[in-house]
Structure 1
Amino acid sequence: MHAAGALLTIDLQAIRANWRMLQARVGSAECAAVVKADAYGLGAAQVAPALAAEGCRRFFVAHLDEGIAVRPGLPQDATVCVLHGPPPGAEGEFVAHGLVPVLNSRAQVDAWRALAHRHDRELSAVVQVDTGMARLGLSPVELRALAGDAGALRGVRVACVMSHLACAEQPEHPANEAQRGRFIAARRCLPAAPASFANSCGIFLGGGYHFDLVRPGAALYGIAPIAAAPNPMRPVVRLQGRVVQMRSIEPGTPVGYGHAWRCERPARIATVSVGYADGWLRAIGESSAAAWVGDVALPLVGRVSMDTITLDASALPEGALVPGALVDLIGDRQDVDAVAARAGTIGYEILTALGSRYARRYLADVAAP
């Protein structure tokens, strides 16, 4: 830890508490966990077993390789669903590794049915329908054709029917209810099966969106599920950057690339070992973001570079910050969503961009069941 340029602390107990809160909110519906993109950058190998220990038994990843990586760390009775479905020719890998595909197109349905025929047994799958996002899932045309073909799903056990909300972070958006109506209609075209519609934000739209299974991702990791509303989730991440060097500069001295910032008074500058190679986005502009030392904010001055940022530490007493000290970049004073707002992006991008150079510390780590 002492040798790293920065320290990323991930609170597994907070992730577990967030899952418990979401499960309680959806009542009799099952609460799954989305652990794609390495659990939103926080480490699926640690996060997924922690959630399994809490009682979660259904996990979603995006890619086949992600499913192969996460499956061995989970209990035998857990289910791992792959959102992008089988890449052409890779259907057999799902059977070999005990993974369930999400079938998004007629081509994927046909390939999975053919595999079931070759194995001479039913194979489970989730079927996704597009209800208004035009991204993944059977289109209305494909769905009608599938419903009209009595043999289209022969050998396929439809374990779940799902869709995805496009505007759930905006509770009043009319697309939410329009999509819900389309989803209800689409289910009538498919074999009777449990239904899944709500992501993190969708959970907070109310019970009419919960159906049988909800699929939170971002909310598990502390991101606010509803824009411009108080965040009910526990914070999960603390990011601390290490001071490399301190220097005193005179008025008019430029700092950083392009001389984009000049001090107007004598200042003490702290160079901190975090940059855009670590996911501290270059879009976080001069003086628009702060690090913290206790209750004292240190403005970012000069441009974010690949390996470093520079902070105006003049508000601290001289000698209070020295090389090797840590400053808070994400924490109690500035959460992931606040950093995202300063960068003109969303918390999802901040978390998934966190790089591999951080020393990582997991709080309340749990062994795989």
Structure 2
Amino acid sequence: MLHCHSLDITVDLNNLAWNYDEFRARCPGATVAAVVKADAYGVGLSAVARRLASNGCTTFFVAHLQEGARLRRHNSAGEIYVLNGLLPGTEPAYERLNLKPVLTSKLQVRLWIAFCEREAWTGGAALHVDTGINRLGFRVEELPALKRLIAGRTQYFDLIMSHFACADDPSDPRNGEQIETFWQVRREFGELRRASLANSAGCFLGSSAHFDLVRSGIGLYGGNPFVTRSNPFRQIISANARLLQVKTHRQGEYVGYGRAFRLQGDRLIGVISLGYADGYPRYPSLGNQDRLQVYYKGRSAHVIGRVSMDTSIIDLSSAADLKPSLGDLVEVCGPSQSLDELAKAIGSIPNEVLTTLGSRSVRSYVGDHELSVAASLHRPGDHRDY
């Protein structure tokens, strides 16, 4: 196995499949789609798409056209929706790759209708309605004009969708307001084949939130979609950095840039192959610097001093009797510290941690016969296939 001076990340695709099945159990009347944008939340698009397809997933969502092009190379038959819409001039790429744009403005709808009529293309597209998050999408007051615009041309559209703003807190009354609003939207656009509102957290708001299709995201990858509930999903990743150096430093010495940390006693200090270039925060938000920790053979080691571009300094004193040495693995995320715990320590959310951690990692996979033997060096390029 190739070792690198960064992170070794192991992805458990069996747990990914278990999480997907958990969504199906929660939403028995709806199609469960998979959101695989940002290289499948940083986990690896190829392996994730292959395993989910083998588990029966037929509908996927990405953010950008180039992500859709990359996914299409790994999935020749599935439906692929591109969330960030239609940019002028890209219409032929959607036809060539059989991708479906998610349209958010009247200009995009006009462009799509003109293209579909000119090319006799009925591959489908989604209409995105803003029901409360005030991000992308048609405002509710724009819908009468949208309905007139697509009248007699609904064959070019196959999905009406929206997005929850507060589903991570199931008790928030705005969830119910959005569900009711979207039911009204669904009735107005009943000619469209499907409707979708629920993200990972929304899948737990009951059947009234499920409509025809749900979009499983962070829960697939083992992150907790809730801020007020325990995590119902299985962890799918473990991340380990390597020790680059172990030394004893004396009381009163400083470590790291700016001499920002002073030792209060003799300590066993290690340097690990993890820095802000790997997605580890230089300045954790919410004043969480003293909460950052990693684990050596199950024992906690606090991160001390400032995180550098390629390295972090840790206090290994609690594990001195285990004789840590060059090349040993130090757990950043795994059995001793879950993805959610790491995100909390950083002052972030699991979505951000997954998509930024390990841009220079070596990934290995459990549960994929094609990838389980050899690790793959991860450095996604700019796949311009459109």
The two structures have a TM-score, normalised by structure 2, of 0.91
Match of 1:143 in 2: 143
Distance 1:67 1:141 in 2: 31
Following TM superposition, by how much is the alpha carbon of 1:86 offset from its aligned partner in structure 2, in angstroms?
A: 1.5
Match of 2:364 in 1: 361
Match of 2:107 in 1: 107
CA contact (8 A) 1:52 1:75 kept: no
- Identity over aligned residues, as a percent? 40
Superposition map of 1:190-339 within 5 A:
190-192=189-191, 193-284=193-284, 285-318=288-321, 320-339=323-342
The list of structure 1 runs, each at least 4 consecutive aligned residues, that deviate by more than 4 angstroms after superposition, is none
Distance 2:280 2:152 in 1: 47
Following TM superposition, by how much is the alpha carbon of 1:228 offset from its aligned partner in structure 2, in angstroms?
A: 3.2
Distance 1:261 1:172 in 2: 42
Distance 1:122 1:314 in 2: 65
Relative distance call for 1:322 and 1:283 in structure 2 (3 A) is same
Instruction: Deviation per CA, 1:35-89: give whole Å up to 9, x if none.
Output: 001101111121111100111000000111100110121142x111111122111
Following TM superposition, by how much is the alpha carbon of 1:115 offset from its aligned partner in structure 2, in angstroms?
A: 0.8
Match of 2:31 in 1: 30
Match of 1:158 in 2: 157
CA contact (8 A) 2:279 2:359 kept: no
SS where residue 160 of structure 2 aligns? strand
Instruction: Deviation per CA, 1:66-123: give whole Å up to 9, x if none.
Output: 00110121142x1111111221111111001011111111111111110111013534
SS where residue 124 of structure 1 aligns? coil
* Runs (5+) with no aligned partner, structure 2: 372-386
Relative distance call for 1:316 and 1:172 in structure 2 (3 A) is same
SS where residue 60 of structure 1 aligns? strand
Distance 2:154 2:119 in 1: 10
Say what the alpha-carbon RMSD is for the aligned residues: 1.7
The two structures have a TM-score, normalised by structure 1, of 0.95
Superposition map of 1:78-157 within 5 A:
78-149=78-149, 152=151, 154=153, 156-157=155-156
Match of 2:384 in 1: none
Match of 1:46 in 2: 47
Distance 1:222 1:289 in 2: 20
Match of 2:167 in 1: 168
* Runs (5+) with no aligned partner, structure 1: none
SS where residue 27 of structure 1 aligns? coil
CA contact (8 A) 1:10 1:42 kept: yes
Following TM superposition, by how much is the alpha carbon of 1:189 offset from its aligned partner in structure 2, in angstroms?
A: 2.5
CA contact (8 A) 2:168 2:228 kept: no
Match of 1:181 in 2: 180
CA contact (8 A) 1:165 1:197 kept: yes
Equivalenced residues, count = 366
Following TM superposition, by how much is the alpha carbon of 1:137 offset from its aligned partner in structure 2, in angstroms?
A: 1.4
